[in-house]
Amino acid sequence: MDLNGSWAIVTGAACRIGRAIALALAERGANIVVHCRRSREEAEVTASQVRKLGRRILIFTADQSDWSAVERACDEAWRATGGIDVLVNNAAIYRRTPLAETSERDWDELLDTDLKGPFAFARFLGPRMKERGRGKIISIADVGAERVWPGYIPYCIAKAGVIAMTRGLAKALAPEVQVNAIAAGTILWPEGGDEASKERALRDVPLRRAGSPTDMARAVCFLVESGDYIAGAVLPVDGGRLIH
């Protein structure tokens, strides 16, 4: 896909990995729709950087755990842009939930945000892309979908669902729309992480280092620009963690 003049939605694009993805797509010619839930100030920073690259920018806020809010946001974005070419499902919650402490609220919040939300975006944009004749959907999964961590079971279940969703969407939207996922490894440390936990995590990474948002952004750009014959795939960006 040639990104020049295209429109890409990146969910959770206000900061961190989402911002890196949005800027990488903009550098390659895409106009950007920045989605955030509450981080409006950070979203404005992303928008400013996109404008400096000479691209058009829109910002919308929506709680992606709310099906109706996602539907409204997708309708608004489609009308405002004239059509979306790329959807990157990046926004997610990552929170420790030890089994004996996991509440129903934890379960609902993690599954609704990390799985229902990405599906809702694909539900309301994917069929329109298919009817239009082209599109790319990339969802950010996690190595935790296969290496389930006992302190993060609902999160890992949601990310396993993202992989199943990706494979189903790849069939439902083919051949016009290519749908793939990226299994992220240790990319950014969660806030409040201590050095001991970082060292333990890196012991499971054959490359012995954490990745960067740039690594994720490059993978997204590869699947969007060069992945025309890739569908239903899960690309690991994990330093080899899945093979350890």
Q: Which of the residues are catalytic? A: 155
What letter represents residue 61's amino acid?
A: T
Kindly list the distances between the CA atom of residue 170 and the CA atoms of 45, 67, 115, 136, 137, in Å, as whole numbers in the listed order. 33, 21, 16, 10, 9
CA distance 39 to 50: 17
Kindly list the distances between the CA atom of residue 11 and the CA atoms of 114, 131, 155, in Å, as whole numbers in the listed order. 11, 22, 18
Q: How far apart are the first and last CA of the chain?
A: 34
